[in-house]
């Protein structure tokens, strides 16, 4: 592909402008939202001047604190559980001889990605209502953590599995040759090589949990308002630029985690 012609033959007319349009469509609305979070006027749509005041009032707002705390408890717990499970599952499904049921297991892991969110949401709601009604069981915020863990697992699983498949097995065999126990070989060889995949998977799991609205809205119980639910409640009230400030904070957290995940993956590619 090093021929001088190669760039030329790859061109298609108009594609560049469409790509630029796509980027504009994706970015202009959120950029405007971010800019208006700096608006000093109290009406959302009239620009009056620059201030960081809305960030101040957002950060001092106790409801926001509670929502942020709930979100972090849920997201961090779901991320840890799902990443551990996904790592184990990825090893159990790649470092093995194909076993009967492997395809089915693979489907189960990916199931949460195939089911529309609204269905998962009402199904989870019915499930927790049933066990609360029948056995008197209510895990409190654990309900949300479990619900989130379910859909975080496939997101954590994908990069870890991809990493395992790309890995050079020679080292693992060499370790086995040198009479390392399977656990030692795993700890000294496989795990260190797997870390970028795990980190990348954990970052993705964190973001999907952090941003989830639909499932959280239906499953959440008392005192379990998360940041997306908080924003939802705010949208339905007279809006001030504070909501833009809070939204911008959420976006920045997502951007941070995507970038981290991306940079780790890129380092891996090198």
Kindly state the smallest distance separating residue 71's Cβ from other proteins, in Å.
11
CA distance 68 to 9: 51
57 to 36, 203, 228: CA distances (angstroms): 15, 29, 18
CA distance 98 to 203: 29
Q: Using the minimum distance from each CB to other proteins, give the nearer residue, 53 or 111.
A: 111
Q: Using the minimum distance from each CB to other proteins, give the nearer residue, 36 or 52.
A: 36
Kindly state the smallest distance separating residue 239's Cβ from other proteins, in Å.
7
Q: Using the minimum distance from each CB to other proteins, give the nearer residue, 3 or 49.
A: 3
Kindly state the smallest distance separating residue 53's Cβ from other proteins, in Å.
19
**Secondary structure of the chain: what % helix, strand, coil (to 5)?**
75, 0, 20
Among 13, 62, 26, which residue's Cα sits nearest to residue 230?
62
Residue from 50, 52, 59, 88 in contact with other proteins (CB under 8 A): 88
Kindly state the smallest distance separating residue 52's Cβ from other proteins, in Å.
19
Span 163-222, contacts to other proteins by CB under 8 A = 165, 169-170, 173, 176-177, 182, 204, 207-208, 210-211, 213-214, 218, 220-222
CA distance 247 to 54: 11
Residue from 2, 4, 9, 60 in contact with other proteins (CB under 8 A): 9
Maximum Cα interatomic distance, the chain, rounded to a whole number of Å: 72
Q: Which residue is associated with the tokens 């529309």? A: 116
Contact 160, 196 (CB under 8 A): no
Span 56-85, contacts to other proteins by CB under 8 A = 66, 69, 72-73, 76, 81, 84-85
Residue from 2, 4, 49, 96 in contact with other proteins (CB under 8 A): 96
Span 143-162, contacts to other proteins by CB under 8 A = 146-147, 149-151, 153, 157-158, 162
Among 224, 248, 257, which residue's Cα sits nearest to residue 74?
224
Residue from 32, 50, 103, 191 in contact with other proteins (CB under 8 A): 32
Q: Using the minimum distance from each CB to other proteins, give the nearer residue, 40 or 126.
A: 126
CA distance 170 to 197: 19
CA distance 266 to 248: 26
Residue from 50, 52, 59, 115 in contact with other proteins (CB under 8 A): 115
Q: How many CB atoms lie within 10 A of CB 160?
A: 25
Interaction between residue 13 and other proteins (CB under 8 A): yes
What DSSP state is assigned to residue 247? H
Span 116-145, contacts to other proteins by CB under 8 A = 116-127, 129-130, 132-133, 136, 138, 140
Q: Which residue is associated with the tokens 């504009």? A: 24
Interaction between residue 226 and other proteins (CB under 8 A): no
């Amino acid at each position: 592909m090093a021929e001088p012609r190669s760039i030329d033959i790859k061109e298609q007319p108009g594609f560049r402008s469409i790509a630029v349009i796509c980027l504009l469509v994706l970015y202009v609305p959120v950029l405007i939202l971010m800019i208006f979070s700096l608006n000093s006027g109290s009406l959302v749509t009239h620009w009056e001047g620059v201030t960081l005041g809305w960030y101040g009032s957002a950060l001092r707002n106790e409801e926001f604190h509670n929502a942020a705390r709930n979100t972090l408890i849920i997201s961090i717990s779901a991320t840890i559980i799902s990443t551990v499970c996904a790592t184990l599952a990825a090893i159990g499904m790649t470092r093995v001889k194909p076993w009967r049921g492997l395809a089915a297991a693979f489907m189960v892991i990916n199931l949460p990605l195939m089911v529309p969110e609204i269905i998962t949401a009402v199904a989870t709601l019915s499930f927790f209502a049933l066990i609360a009604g029948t056995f008197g069981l209510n895990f409190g915020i654990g309900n949300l953590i479990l619900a989130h863990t379910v859909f975080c697992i496939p997101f954590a699983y994908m990069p870890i599995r991809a990493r395992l498949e790309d890995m050079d097995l020679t080292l693992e065999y060499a370790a086995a040759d040198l009479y390392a126990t399977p656990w030692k070989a795993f700890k000294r060889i496989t795990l260190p090589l797997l870390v970028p995949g795990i980190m990348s998977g954990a970052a993705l799991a964190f973001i999907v949990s952090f941003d989830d609205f639909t499932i959280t809205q239906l499953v959440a119980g008392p005192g379990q308002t998360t940041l997306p639910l908080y924003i939802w409640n705010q949208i339905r009230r007279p809006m001030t630029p504070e909501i833009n400030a809070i939204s911008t904070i959420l976006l920045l957290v997502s951007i941070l985690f995507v970038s981290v995940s991306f940079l780790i993956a890129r380092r891996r590619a090198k």
